[in-house]
Amino acid sequence: METKRPVGVTVIAILAIIGGILLLFGGIALVALAPIISQVDIHNNTNPSNSSFSLNINGTDVTIPRNALFLFGGFLGIIGGMLVVIGIAGFVVAWGLLTGRGWAWILTIIVAIISIILNLILVVSGSIESVIGLIIYGIIIYYLYRPSVKSYFGRVKGPTV
């Protein structure tokens, strides 16, 4: 017996697709930008043989090693690659949600719990707008635990209410 997909599951899957698109394009941008940043050469006209350069930021002198941009570029490339993988995973989870796969239900619950924890940390640290994330992920968890939704994912045995 095939169960009709609940509308809310479609909405959550669309949100996963949108998140996947944003993560994918953001990751691609960072991967593309990484070699450009790594190749930036900053000249210190006062002492060209110096292996560092200094900046004055808000009245504080900051000395930065010349190889810092190379390392920063590599770091951006790694982060970008991770974002690409997570973006692709978002598409896979969206497909799982749309087709009623139990593993997609589990992964969505795990991501929602992690997001709630991170949003709680942000709220405690003063980011009051993170309350919106708490509310959204709380609604997602509540919705995914509804009997008809759990039944769609094969998480409940017996008739749905």
Q: What are the tens digits of pLDDT across the range 16-32?
A: 999 999 999 999 999 99
Half-sphere exposure of 135 (CA within 13 A, CB side): 5
Residue whose tokens read 């989870």: 93
Q: Which of 151, 157, 140 is nearest to 100 (CA)?
A: 151
Amino acid at 155: R
| Residues linked to residue 55 through DSSP beta bridges, in sequence order | 62
**Residue of 23, 158, 57, 156 whose CA lies nearest to 100:** 156
What three-state secondary structure class fits 125? coil
Q: Quick: pLDDT tens for 92-143.
A: 999 999 999 999 999 999 999 999 999 999 999 999 999 999 999 999 999 9
Give the pLDDT score at 42.
61
Please give the Cα distance from 20 to 13 (Å, whole number). 10
- pTM of the complete model: 0.77
Q: Provide the pLDDT confidence category of residue 1 given band limits of 50, 70 and 90.
A: very low
